[in-house]
Amino acid sequence: MTSSSNIQTETNEPEEKSFFGIIIHSFFVIPFIIAMAALLLFASMHWLTREQLTAYDYLEQVKIGGITKRWQAAFELSKILANPKLIPQEERFANELTAAFQNSKTDDKRVQQYLALAMAKTGNPVFLNTLVSGLNGASDENLRTIIYALGLLKDKRAVPTLLQYLDNPDERVRSITVVSLGNIGDDNIRPALRRMLEDPQPNVQWGAAISLANFKDPAGKNILKNLLNRNYLSQYKEVDPQEQTQIVLEAITASSYLNDAQLNKQLQELSKHDESMRVRSLSMAALQK
């Protein structure tokens, strides 16, 4: 009896396991596979559709899309125009982008901000006057974005206009202005940037020091030494760890232009001991440069 009972148990166990395997396979595995396949198909179709959209397509969405669609289209336009191969060269595109920017003054702020960046990324000087005119009456956020866009455009004719904003009461405007002037690279602005090293706001001083270093001007060297020191940056509670790392990275790039012994010593320390792999890697590259 015992032997017969054991045989029966052994016979049933595979059947039970097989049964539960079928249940699991039918109700969990197969539906999961189908769902993942559908998701991948949807993602692929979405990606292919997005890739097929041109600058003209996004510009059309800016003009006729809904509230949310307009700023998203402006954002996508600013992204694809970072690729020189995707920038339309026709005069028609420049005219339509200019018109869209001018008509966006009363729209969601993000529309005008992303259109300003889109114009700047083309590198086309035809947009200079449009951006300069956009400064007049612009909201605080849009003002800062347009100033930044003028820096990206790198047209030296914007310098006289930008110099006026170095005395703006808003420290954020002054900060973005020194960065934009540094991007433009007009050697004549160095005296103005040296003056901004004495600005009462640290972030303005930081931008001025980094911009001066782009000219291989060591006037802001002591400020750069601070920016390469995380203990110094930790004093500013409003600067989160990610922003702190970004500031250090920018200071490393700026320091590489000066080839200063003290700064190089700090770069060596960062290349060995900093918590960020990006910081260590860029420090090593700067020393080799």
Q: Kindly report which listed range (22-26, 218-222, 232-236, 253-257) carries the lowest average pLDDT score.
A: 22-26
Query: In b/e form, how buried is each residue of 98-121, taking b as 16+ CB within 10 angstroms?
Result: bebbeebeebebbbbbbbbbbbbb
Maximum Cα–Cα distance across the chain: 105
- The one-letter code for the residue type at 51 is E
Spatial distance between the Cα atoms of 98 and 101, rounded to a whole number of angstroms: 5
CB burial class (10 A; 0-12, 13-18, 19+) of residue 176? Answer: buried
Alpha helices, DSSP H, located in 138-288: 140-153, 159-163, 171-184, 190-196, 202-214, 221-227, 230-233, 241-256, 261-273, 277-288
Helix (H) or strand (E) holding 113: helix 109-122
Residue, of 51 and 192, whose pLDDT is higher: 192
Please state the rounded mean pLDDT for residues 254-281.
96
Q: pLDDT per residue over 101-142, tens digit each?
A: 999 999 999 999 999 999 999 999 999 999 999 999 999 999
Spatial distance between the Cα atoms of 146 and 131, rounded to a whole number of angstroms: 6
- Chain center to CA of 124: 21
> pLDDT band at 181, cuts 50/70/90?
very high
Q: What is the pLDDT of residue 13?
A: 46
Mean pLDDT of the chain: 88
Spatial distance between the Cα atoms of 223 and 26, rounded to a whole number of angstroms: 66
Instruction: Dihedral sign for Cα 215, 217, 223, 224, please.
Output: positive
Q: pLDDT per residue over 109-120, tens digit each?
A: 999 999 999 999
Which residue matches tokens 């420049």? 94
Supply the CATH classification number for the domain 160-215.
1.25.10.10
Share of the chain above pLDDT 70, in %: 82
Q: How far is CA 251 from CA 228, 233, 262, 270, 279, in A?
A: 6, 12, 13, 12, 10
Q: What are the extents of the domains in the chain?
A: 53-153, 160-215, 221-289
Q: What is the pLDDT of residue 27?
A: 47
For Cα atoms 78, 83, 87, give the angle at the middle one, nearest 5 degrees: 75
Please state the rounded mean pLDDT for residues 261-278.
97
Q: What CATH architecture is 53-153?
A: Alpha Horseshoe (1.25)
Summary count for the chain: helices (H), strands (E): 17, 0
Whether 265 has a pLDDT exceeding 50, the answer reads yes
Whether 160-215 and 53-153 are alike in CATH topology: the answer is yes
Q: What is the pLDDT of residue 5?
A: 43
- The one-letter code for the residue type at 156 is K
Q: What is the pLDDT of residue 40?
A: 66
Please state the rounded mean pLDDT for residues 202-228.
97
Q: pLDDT per residue over 33-82, tens digit each?
A: 555 666 666 555 555 545 579 999 999 999 999 989 999 999 999 999 99
Q: What is the pLDDT of residue 52?
A: 76
Torsion of CA 177, 85, 92, 72, to 10 degrees: -60
